[in-house]
Amino acid sequence: MSLNKEVEVLRDVPLFSKIDHTKLKLLAFTSEKLIHQDGQFLFREGETGDAAYIVLQGKVAVFIQTEKGPVEVAQLKRGDVVGEISILCDVPRTASVKAVESVQTLKITKDTFIHLLTEFPEIAIEIMRELASRLNKTNIQLREALTD
Amino acid sequence: MEKTLFKFIWRYSKRDQIILLILTAISFPFLYLSLDLPKTIINKAIGGKDVPEEIFGMTVDQIDYLLILSGAFLALVFVNGGFKFYVNVFRGQLGERMLRRLRYSLLARVLRFPLPQFKKVSQGEVIQMVNSEVEPLGGFVGDSIALPAFQGGTLLTILIFMFIQDWMLGLAAIALYPIQGYIIPKLQWHVNQLGKKRVRNVRVLAEKIGEAVSGIEEVHANDGARRILARFTERLGVIYDIRYEIFRRKFFIKFLNNFIAQLTPFFFYSIGGYLVIKGDLTFGALVAILAAYKDLSAPWKELLTYYQRLADSRIKYDQVIEQFDPQGIWPENYQMAEIEADFSLAGNVSAGNLSILDEESQPIVEKLSFDISKSEHIALTGPSSGGKDLATILMARLLAPDSGQIVVAGKQIADLPEAATGRYMGYIGPNAFVFNATLKENILLGAMHRPISTEGELNEDLKNAQLSGNSLDDLGAEWLDYNAIGVDSDAGLQKRLIELLQVVDLDVDVYSMGLRSTVDGFDDDQLLEQILTARKKFRERLDKSDISNFVESFDKEVFNSNASVAENLLFGTPKGDSFNSENIGTNAYVVEILERVDLKDEFIRIGRDVASTMVELFADLPSDHEYFSQYSFISSEDLPEFQTLLARSERLGLENMSTEDSNQFLSLPFKLIPARHRLDLITNDIQKRILEARKLFAEEIGDELRDEIEFFEAGHYNRSSSIQDNILFGKIALDKANAIEEVNHLVTEIIDQENLRPMIINAGLNSQAGLAGSRLSQGQRQKLSIARALLRRPDHLILNEATSSLDSGSQTIVMSNLLSEMKDRNVTWALQRASLAENFDRVLVLSGGQVVEDGSFQDLVKKEDSVINDLLREE
């Protein structure tokens, strides 16, 4: 997959939707594209994380460790982001992510991401807006859950 | 060191100076004859008076006589010239020899400075003094006695000649000398004072330069460059003023001298002319006197210059010497004395009443006493200024206490030469220093104290060294003390070195350095064969595994998408500069090959596209952004130029651009790595043509470029690539997750299976440590220094916060390895953290320069109010 196609995928990621095309291209250019084989882990629960992954092609499965063993909680596909929390704050991985077929991802390291934010503060504002809207959504869900 | 310059000269060059004097004395009669002969030629041979009838029994007429005398004159010219030549060479050699001696003795003294002296004299000053300040002294030493004798003698000879011709003219010639002799020294005195001032100021400048270089990180981190530059400016200004003043005064003296010298001919023309007219003086004599006077000004000038140089040299010598004669300089014996063959320091250590005073004579260590038995492992701990570090420095005899004594194995260490303390004890401080040599050479320094085998005869170089009082140790001899290391062969040494690396937990680091190093320089074909076998085995294993596509092997017929376009085209490793990444795009042969496969225009087009992407991505970034060096194909300085080029290509079209402009794009595609950069510019068709170019490139390369590249060949070891690259023989797939880890893991497996690890560690040991060990981390430098001290199996190992830069995991390993390595031998270790003391037999807690607690860790910790408990709580 070429850089330009990767940028198209990035455009569809809600977190990046408002970000200028050139900046997305820079983000893609300074990031590694990785292929994970079927069954290979992107990362495991409890590890310290330093990168987020954007799925470019294929599917990944998200697992959470329970008393009865790992339980699959979600499957993610093209345009989805995993592990983004750990490039924003230092928390261990909250879930394991595994490739369920051959998967192409763009690995965005914490350093790359922070660079992007410091160089282009307008991106930071976009990210904040996105995070705030997520928080709002969570609040609404929480309220609904409490009133149920 | 001799107190005055002339004492130094006389003591070390008496014989040579006397020879010079004798040579000079012998030359004078010839000089006198060469002055006298012209008169005879003019008056007798040319004038025709008193032509002898026969010479040596042969009858001669006037013409014969003239020819004979002229021939004699010519012969005298040769003899005088010969004397001058021989004397000059002899003098030059003498001067160089004495300069060599002076430099050597200064350097030898630096090595004997007591350590506190280095707080007072900076590195910059020492270098300045030894290198530049003493330089003119060498020339002066050769001249010091012979020159005044020769020039003075010449002057005298000429004067005597003049006086014999006519005393009045002689008197006229020297009439103004007393005036010169009175005024010049007075003027010179001021110049001398300025000279002294200049020397002092240049030294300060040297010190400031040294400071700026050593402290460069601080300068940058605190935005201090402008202040430093202002300080330099101030210093340079002071030096400028002094030098200008010196020149002004010097040229005034010169002017005065010249003026006076020009006055004298006035007397000759008037008085001499009068005498000739009166008939009291022959015309020939006047010509001879005038010729002689011309010769007179040269020696007189030389004498005056000599006087200035003498003054200069004296100042320099005095100023240098006083810096190299500090109080408490160690006696020469400390470094030169040897010890008996059965010497040993294995035994108890007993320190009594040690005191050290600081510069204000306040005690920093007071009445410190302790006893350590032969095989004890002792931890020294305490607050940071409590004296634990000084205790180790005293024990290693790097510092002499102001009072008190240390006895080791029944011997006063104050009396021992370094041959004892530096071989039977090992000391490692916190600022482990690593020299600019290979890692191996750095470790072996620990057992290279003196040449082991010396030939009976001194070779030519050493004979010369002897004449200058330099060291007679042959640097080319075997220095390594195999006995001290406890091995008897190179193979044994090799094994021991690897063991030591394991002890200091450096083996893995050195192994990876080895993997990354090239083996250029060592010629064991068998080992290279083994690496080739490893290459084959590696590929076999890889093919059988499920990660076979993690390495894209080099294949002559296939484009490697994980390698750069340059590597794909060259299909080899550049050896010189012709094909390196900077030059490949402008290399005439490469461009010719591109043209032949119709790639040149394509490359220009691709280069244009690369440039446009780079401009798009990076134009917004500040010019010092790290992305430029990490990711951009175009440096921030060149970016604006490419912006202009792109605009031009937009306007004119690529085909219509000047060749000079379009060639700018040509070098960009070479850096493309398709799998990494994903710009989709290297299409299948281009790849095919690059392969054609690859073939053509290899086939038609000329002889002079053939040595600039080493091609990839499956059955051939590539000496220009690293060992790792030789085993891989391909590129790690950049887009496979975890590829690097998995591949490295497999490489290590193959290496161990083929028993190549020792050889690779050896290659790592042969890699360079860099200036002051700059290629190693501080922790690695500390480990290397510990290995260096362990190499000679010391009876006492003394460590002063020697593992402070290690991470705690590595520190635990090194400590436990060291303690078991030194089982049954004494270890005394000043620790940076009290909790580390747990592993030792006994703990001494030092505070306020005294031992305040002494006992096992467990016992000390049991006492609630013990100092060690305070220290542990603070951690």
- The CATH number for B440's domain is 3.40.50.300
Partners of A115 on chain B (C-beta within 8 Å) are 627
CB contact under 8 A, A2 and B621: no
What is the spatial distance between Cα B13 and Cα B31, in angstroms, rounded to a whole number?
A: 26
Among partner residues B620, B679, B736, which is closest to A35 by beta-carbon distance? Answer: B736
- B761 and B779 both lie in a single domain: no
Preferred mutation among B552, B677, B678 to probe A, highest tally of A CBs within 10 A: B678
Tell me the two tokens of residue A89: 């704050």
Axis-axis angle for helices B225-267, B167-174 (nearest 10): 160
How many CB pairs lie under 8 A apart between chains A and B?
48
Question: Is A3–B737 a contact, with Cβ atoms under 8 angstroms apart?
Answer: no
Domain finish residue from B323, B349, B383: B323
What residues of chain A, 1 to 30, have a C-beta less than 8 Å from chain B? 1-4, 6, 22, 25-26, 29-30
Q: Looking at B492-605, which runs of residues are DSSP E strands? A: 551-553, 572-574
- Would the CB atoms of A34 and B617 count as touching at under 8 Å? no
pLDDT at B247 over 60: yes
Calculate how close chain B gets to A145, using CA atoms only, in Å.
40
The whole-number pLDDT of residue B287 equals: 80
Q: How far is B552 from chain A (nearest CA, A)?
A: 15
Whether B197 and B109 map to the same domain: the answer is: yes
pLDDT at B177 exceeding the cut of 90: no
Q: Is A42 in Cβ contact with B616 (below 8 Å)? A: no
The model's confidence at residue B245, banded by pLDDT at 50, 70 and 90, is very high
pLDDT, averaged across chain B: 88
Chain B contact set for A36 (CB, 8 A)? 737
Asked whether the beta carbons of residue A25 and residue B616 sit closer than 8 angstroms, the reply is yes
Measured between CA atoms, the residue of chain B closest to residue A53 is: B737
Question: Above 90 in pLDDT, residue B407?
Answer: yes
Nearest 5 degrees, angle CA B492-CA B515-CA B547?
130
For residues B776 and B723, membership in a common domain is answered with no
Arithmetic mean of pLDDT, B171-178:
80
pLDDT higher than threshold 80 for residue B681 = yes
Q: Does one domain contain both B672 and B602?
A: yes
In a domain, B745, yes or no: yes
DSSP B171-182: HHHHTTHHHHHH
Q: According to the model, what pLDDT value does residue B132 have?
A: 85
Which of B765, B793, B828 is the endpoint of a domain? B765
Chain A residues with CB under 8 Å of B679 CB are 2-3
Percentage of the residues of chain B whose pLDDT score is greater than 90:
42
Mean per-residue pLDDT of chain A: 87
Task: List the single residue in A3, A42, A120 with the smallest CB-CB distance to B679.
Answer: A3
Q: Verify whether the Cβ–Cβ distance A35 to B679 is below 8 Å.
A: no
Mutate to test the interface with A, among B617, B624, B634, B742 (most CBs of A within 10 A): B617
- State percent of chain B over pLDDT 70: 99
Q: What is the largest CA-CA distance in chain A?
A: 48
Strands B551-553 and B730-732: antiparallel
Q: B678 and A37 in contact by Cβ < 8 A?
A: no
Which pLDDT score, from 0 to 100, does residue B520 have? 63
Predicted confidence band of residue A2 (pLDDT cuts 50, 70, 90):
confident
Residues B806 and B673 in one domain: no
Q: For residue A35, give the nearest of B620, B679, B737 by CB distance.
A: B737
Q: Is a pLDDT exceeding 80 seen at residue B256?
A: yes
Q: Nearest 5°: CA angle at B793, between B790 and B798?
A: 60
Chain B partners of A1 at a C-beta cutoff of 8 Å? 678
Question: β-strand B425-428 against B796-800: which pairing, if any?
Answer: parallel
Q: pLDDT tier at B297 (50, 70, 90 boundaries)? A: confident
* Domain-located, residue B684: yes
| Interface touch A29/B677, C-beta < 8 Å | yes
Q: Are residues B284 and B164 in the same domain?
A: yes
Where does B41-145 have alpha helices with state H?
A: 62-110, 123-127, 135-143
Q: Which residues of A touch B616 (CB under 8 A)?
A: 22, 25
Q: What is the CA radius of gyration of chain A?
A: 16
Q: Are B127 and B206 in contact (CB under 8 A)?
A: yes
pLDDT band at A1 (very low <50, low <70, confident <90, very high): low
A3, A26, A37 ranked by CB distance to B678: nearest: A3
When pLDDT is cut at 50, 70 and 90, the band that residue B372 belongs to is very high
User: What is the least distance, in Å, from the CA of A35 to any CA of chain B?
Assistant: 5
**Residues B681 and B610 reside in one and the same domain:** yes
Nearest CA in chain A to B675: A33
Q: Measured between CA atoms, how close is B614 to chain A, in angstroms?
A: 9
Q: Most confidently modeled of A86-90, A135-139, B33-37, B56-60?
A: A135-139
Identify the DSSP state of B347.
S
Q: Is the pLDDT of residue B796 over 70?
A: yes
**Does B31 share its domain with B107?**
yes
Q: Does B519 fall in a domain? A: no
Any B CB within 8 A of A132 CB: no
pLDDT at B289 > cutoff 80: no
Q: Which residues of A touch B618 (CB under 8 A)?
A: 26
Task: Round to whole Å and give the CA distance between B516 and B726.
Answer: 10
- Say whether residue A101 is in contact with chain B using an 8 A CB cutoff: no
Q: B616 to chain A nearest CA, in Å?
A: 7
User: Does B738 lie in the same domain as B810?
Assistant: no
Instruction: Locate B864 and state its tokens.
Output: 């609630």
Does the pLDDT value for residue B621 go beyond 90? no
The confidence score (pLDDT) of residue B552 equals 93
Exposure b/e, B139-158, CB count within 10 A at least 16 = b: bbbbbbbbbbbbbbbbbebb
Kindly tell me if the per-residue pLDDT of B521 is higher than 60. Answer: no
Answer yes or no: are the C-beta atoms of A15 and A81 closer than 8 Å: yes
Domains in chain B, number:
3
In-domain check, residue B661:
yes
User: Which chain A residues are Cβ-neighbours of B631 within 8 angstroms?
Assistant: 29-30
What pLDDT band is residue B523 in, cutting at 50, 70 and 90?
low
- Confidence at residue B522, expressed as pLDDT on a 0 to 100 scale: 59
Are B620 and A34 an interchain contact pair (Cβ–Cβ within 8 Å)? Answer: no
Which chain A residues touch B738 with a CB distance below 8 Å?
40
Residue A123, C-beta contacts closer than 8 angstroms, at least 6 positions apart: A19, A23, A116, A117
Give mean pLDDT, residues B15-24.
Answer: 89
Per the CB < 8 Å rule, is B737 touching A115?
Answer: no
C-alpha span between B252 and B397 (Å, rounded): 56
**Using the beta-carbon criterion (under 8 Å), do A3 and B617 form an inter-chain contact?**
no
Q: Which residues of B322-356 are buried (b: 16+ CB within 10 A; e: fewer)?
A: ebbebeebeeeebeeeeeeeeeebebebbbeebeb
CB contact under 8 A, A2 and B678: yes
- The answer to whether the Cβ–Cβ distance between B680 and A3 falls below 8 Å is yes
CA distance A76 to A84: 14
How distant, in Å, are the alpha carbons of B79, B175, B254, B691 from that of B151?
17, 19, 18, 79
Q: What are the structural domains, with CATH classification, of chain A?
A: 3-147 (2.60.120.10)
- Same domain? B693 vs B797: no
- Among B114-118, B314-318, B455-459, the range scoring the smallest mean pLDDT is B455-459
Q: What digits encode the pLDDT tens for the residues B81-117?
A: 998 899 889 988 999 999 999 999 999 999 999 888 8
My answer on whether B727 and B839 are in the same domain is: no
Choose the mutation target among A7, A24, A29 for the interface with B, i.e. most B CBs under 10 Å: A29
- Contact at CB, B737 and A36, closer than 8 angstroms: yes
CB A67 within 8 A of CB A18: no
Q: Is residue B510 part of a domain?
A: no
Domain span at B549? 525-765
Does B112 share its domain with B246? yes
**B779 to chain A, closest Cα gap in Å:** 25
pLDDT at residue B61, rounded to an integer = 81
Instruction: Give me the CATH number covering residue B172.
Output: 1.20.1560.10
Of the candidates B740, B765, B790, which is a domain's last residue?
Answer: B765
Report whether B845 contacts B853 (CB < 8 A): yes
In a domain, residue B568? The reply is yes
Q: What is the rounded CA–CA span in Å between residue A105 and residue A109?
A: 12
Nearest to B400 by CA among B458, B331, B466: B331
Residue B82 lies in a domain: yes
Residues 6+ apart with CB under 8 A from B279: none
Of the partner residues B625, B680, B737, the one whose CB lies closest to the CB of residue A34: B737
